[in-house]
């Protein structure tokens, strides 16, 4: 099993897990770019956003909803946050198992560099 995030989902690689259910996992980013920085992943291996199908797209809504709730638990709902999904080279995707970033706890610049 080569995929890093599949291995995290299977607990073969430890992570700081914030939430888990049958379809998804949320855990803190190992190299946080903001005071709060966590990732929400589907347990199913989907390589990139390009591989998403209409049948699977409700998963994204569930991931966004979970990230929103976790942002509240982190106390950053009012100060604000950013959700990001990177796709392929120009998007800066490094791990090819789709994941939603949530960053907050400081003022984030815009536009991204
Ligand atoms: P991408 O650039 O693919 O959108 O983001 C991948 C993210 O995964 C990066 O923010 C990176 O720090 C994080 N990451 C990479 N390897 C690990 C790991 O082993 N554990 C955790 N918790 N995060 C990781
Ligand atoms: Zn995977």
Q: So what's the pLDDT on residue 111? A: 93
CA of 29 to the centre of ligand 1 (A): 6
Answer whether residue 67 shows pLDDT above 70: yes
H-helix or E-strand containing 104? strand 100-104
| HSE toward the beta carbon, residue 109, CA cutoff 13 A | 4
Over residues 41-60, mean pLDDT:
96
- The pLDDT tens digits of the residues spanning 14-29 come to 999 999 999 999 999 9
What pTM value is reported for the model?
0.98
Q: How far apart are CA 101 and CA 113, in angstroms?
A: 17
| Domains identified in the chain and CATH numbers | 4-104 (3.30.428.10)
Cα 1 to the chain's mean position, in Å? 20
Q: So what's the pLDDT on residue 112? A: 86
Q: So what's the pLDDT on residue 34? A: 98
Residues with CB under 6 A from ligand 1: 4, 13, 15, 27-31, 86, 92-95
CB neighbours of residue 32 within 10 Å: 12
- Catalytic center residues: 99
> Ligand 1: which atom is nearest the Cα of residue 92?
2
Q: How far apart are CA 59 and CA 68, in angstroms?
A: 14
Q: So what's the pLDDT on residue 113? A: 80
């Amino acid at each position: 099993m080569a995929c890093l995030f599949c291995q995290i989902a299977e607990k073969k690689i430890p992570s700081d897990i914030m939430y888990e259910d049958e379809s998804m996992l949320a855990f803190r980013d190992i190299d946080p770019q903001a005071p709060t920085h966590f990732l929400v992943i589907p347990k199913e291996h989907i390589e990139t956003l390009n591989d998403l199908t209409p049948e699977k797209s409700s998963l994204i809504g569930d991931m966004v909803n979970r990230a929103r709730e976790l942002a509240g638990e982190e106390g950053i709902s009012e100060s604000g946050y950013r959700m990001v999904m990177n796709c392929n080279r120009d998007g800066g995707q490094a791990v090819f198992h789709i994941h939603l970033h949530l960053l907050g706890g400081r003022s984030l610049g815009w536009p991204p560099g």
